[in-house]
Each structure stands twice: as structure tokens, then as C-alpha cells.
Copies of this chain bind each other. A is one copy, B any other.
């Protein structure tokens, strides 16, 4: 033994922020404004929470559910569970009752910490979640008078009151479980991904690298991505380690509140999905000059790929770098990332060339391995043209699902991501589509993502969603749903002419369908499954299959 055998436990980095920056703030949005607490207070409260959880019978490895918005108490739950060796199970508050019931029972959550405003959603399940012995209710401004029939309900403040502000974090195996997050499955039951101390520790260090998200203790971070999505993309852990100011929007997710928070708290970095950044853009555009975003330097965008036009707008209008991240719940989640400058040779690129790079999913994070494969798992060339199934492996990549291994989702130590794409000679990953969203027409594949990005770049188009529709001759044909921006008008012919400038004739959508909005999944992505179901329910037919009116 030459070097110390220090296990990679989150408890070795969790308390660091409070140590080096005890006076730095955690800011949580409330009905009337914000509430603030320091890192020192947050640390002490997290240690108190750990004592309270232990007193409530939570031991190492037990699942503690959270049913919460992004807020200081949710962060305390992250901190406490990781420190004491409990497993933080972040429940997605946007799931339907059936999925929630399944998940809570599958994880056997013993205790759930819940934001008071969300109580009704859980109360509906009271009779069917027998493992839950106690709920701890976090009451923000306006919810002090909560009441519930959920078992053992106690106010969060009463729960931790009087507990000692120091918990001696236990030693454990570095591969001990840390968190549990279920993916919103498109088929079958949701599947659980169990995060471990070691995997999340390595993810945290990597996320803080200059060539990654470059998180720093000098940053003010607004994590908009919910903390129930893949550990809030790891941002809460990085922030706890670094001690950077955190701003948490809680349930106030409308663009106006988010913009107000960015301005008033001096946010330098924010993380969210493309729909959030579309909404923020819309509000800035309709209120020119109203928001001073001079502190904001970068936004990280993930969950689904941001349209290149959006990346360009943030840079040209606000001077803000949109950092595209690619990953999924199964990849902890950061697997690849694209920045304006990823290497020295890019310093001499034009803005146009940088936008082209930023539109790609990016380069693989150090320590991971990623490649594209054909159907027989032969590796494909990195020529920017060959399209294949994307597989990834490494120390923060899932190896099986929780109590439901799903071996068909893995191959020879690799995770089969379900995304298809290509890799260019510069080793950039370019996502073509989710494999299930590709349109297969006449034996050729059409990328719905490419069409959407192209259409949404048109003036007057706010959103675009391309899905396959069955066709007896071609197998499938694409149709595009579009949401026209307020006060604008765009017709089908214009969209098709715009597409024809970039796509072959056989790749053009067979139909352009104006809609009021696109349904979103519980993780904020366009819900193409729902779009296809809606079309089927309406008896939608492709234009050339319709019975001609006589």
C-alpha cells in the first residue's frame, strides 16, 4: 500500500463548501421574494436532518424519498442522506399517480420529505404506499398551516429541531448507494438508476473541470433543472463541494420569476432544458432592455438538444454561452459536452464555426468511453456520416437497473443509450435522434431532430415537433407539428420551402400541422409518444392516404 485508501465518499467533499465559504448564500424563491441561508447554516441543518432521520429509523441503505421543488431544504436532504449513507430517492413530482405508486413501492421508500404545496398529489396515494411510515413536510412561505392525512406527518422544522448540528459521517464502501432516480420510461414501468458514492464523486470532480461545466466557487448558480432529474445534473453536489452561491427557483418556474432571480441575485451560470431557454428568450424579446443579464456568462442546456438558432440567439443577443450537455439518467448524467472553445485550435474559429460545433452534442467527458455501433455491435468509423447506436461506458455509467436488471439495455459492459448518432473526425458526437423517434422511410432513416432544428430556426416558428406516421408503401413518413409564435403567421408551404433548402425531397415532411402547443414529458422534453397517440386518437391520416372528397 503506497497511497492512502481513502474511499471516494461524498461525505469527503460535501461539507467543504461550508468550510471554505461559510457565509455564502443559498437563496430560495418564495411567494413574496426569497429566503436566504448561509452555507454554514445549511451544513448544520443537514447534519441535524441526518440525526433526525436516524432517530426516525433511517439506516444506511434505506431509501428516503423527496417530493420537492428545488429549494434549500431539498439541498439539505441531498446533503444529509449522502453523508449518513441513506439513499436519496428523488421523486418526480410531474409523474402520474400510477407511476408514482409504482416507484414508491418499488423503491420501498420508508420516509418522504415533501413540499407542503405538493401534499395533495401524494395524499391521493395514501392507501397504496404502505412502506412509507412518515412524511416530513417542508413548508415555505404561505404554507405554515398545512394539514394532511399522510402517516406520521411532521413539520420539517419540528423534525430537525434540537438535533445536534454535527453528525459524524460514517465510513462505508465507496460503491455504496447514494441516490435513486427513475427514468420516465416510454414503455413498461419506470426503471430505477441507482447512483453510488464513487460514481457521483467522480462526476462531481469532472463537472468542475475548466473544460467541462467549469463550475467555480466564484459562480452564482441558478439550477432550474429539477433536483429530481438525474440529481439536478449534479449541480447541487458540485455547489456543496465548491461553496458557490446557489439560487433555487422552488415552484416559481415561469420565465418572469426566473429572469427576476437572475437579475437580482447576479446569476452567472444557469442550467435548464431547451423549453426553459425558449421561454426566457421569448420574455426577453418582448421586453427589450428590461432585464440586466450582464452577470450571466453561460447557461448549460441539456435533456434534449437546443436548436442551433437558440444557441446563436443567446450568444448574439446576450453574450451568453450556451453549453450543450448530453447525457441521461443512466449516465449520472453528464457524458458529453460542447463549449465554444473545446481546444486551442478552436480559438481561431469564426462564430459561425463555433455555432456549428455547439450544435453538436460535444466531446466525451474524460474517463468515459463512447462509440457508435451497427446492429451487430461492430464499431462504425468516426467520419461524421456513419450513423449508429450510441454506446457509452465508464465509472459513472449505469450497469443495470435497480431491482430490474434489463440486460437487453447493455452490451458487453456498455450501456446502450437508445440514442443514435454519428461521430465526426474531430471526435464530436452528433445525435441524430432517439432511436425510437427516427423516421424509417423506404429503408432510409430520417432524423426528426434535424428537421425540427431546421424548422424552428424559421422566423415565426416557436416550436416544431416531427414524428413518424405509418405509411403502407414507405413504412413511415414524417409529419411536422408547428407552434406559430404569437402575432406571427407561417403557412405550410413556407415551412416546406424552407426545409427544401436543406433536405432532400424524400426527407421533407408529408404534412405541416399547426398546433397550439406540444405536450411535454415529466422531464420537460417533447412527448412524442403523446403526440403520436393524439394523432392516432384523432384518426389522423397522411395526406396521400386520405380518401379524396369526391
Contacts and interface: CB of A to CB of B under 8 A. Distances in A.
Contact of A3 (B4, B5, B199, B220): B199
A397 interface: yes
Nearest to A2: B194
Copies in the complex: 2
A456 to B, nearest CB: 29
Contacts of A535: none
Interface stretch (A20-28, A487-495, A524-532): A20-28
A548 interface: no
B343 A218 contact: yes
Contact of A2 (B342, B346, B363, B398): B398
A280 to B, nearest CB: 23
A427 interface: yes
Interface centre among A6, A220, A342 (most CB of B within 10 A): A6
B217 A342 contact: yes
Interface string A204-218: 011011110011111
A193 interface: yes
Interface in A322-357: 332, 341-347
Given A210-B216, A241-B366, A6 B344 contact: no
Contacts of A343: 20-21, 24, 217-218, 243-244
A44 interface: no
A443 to B, nearest CB: 33
Given A211-B242, A245-B344, A343-B21, A397 B219 contact: no
A344 B219 contact: yes
Interface centre among A199, A208, A347 (most CB of B within 10 A): A208
Contacts of A415: 4
Interface centre among A20, A23, A198, A402 (most CB of B within 10 A): A20
A476 to B, nearest CB: 34
A345 B24 contact: yes
Interface centre among A196, A243, A402 (most CB of B within 10 A): A243
A175 B3 contact: yes
Contacts of A345: 21, 23-24
A396 B214 CA distance: 22
Nearest to A207: B209
B341 A218 contact: yes
A13 interface: yes
Contacts of A3: 175, 194-196, 198-199, 332, 395-399
A20 B426 CA distance: 6
Contact of A210 (B1, B202, B210, B393): B210
Interface centre among A13, A201, A366, A396 (most CB of B within 10 A): A366
Contact of A344 (B2, B177, B209, B218): B218
A6 B393 contact: yes
A327 B399 CA distance: 37
Top 7 A-B pairs, shortest CB-CB distance = A2-B194, A3-B199, A217-B343, A6-B395, A210-B216, A205-B205, A208-B209
26 contacts: A1-B399, A2-B193, A3-B175, A3-B195, A3-B397, A3-B398, A6-B394, A8-B202, A12-B367, A16-B366, A21-B343, A24-B343, A201-B367, A205-B206, A205-B366, A208-B209, A208-B211, A209-B210, A210-B214, A211-B216, A211-B242, A218-B341, A220-B344, A243-B343, A244-B343, A244-B344
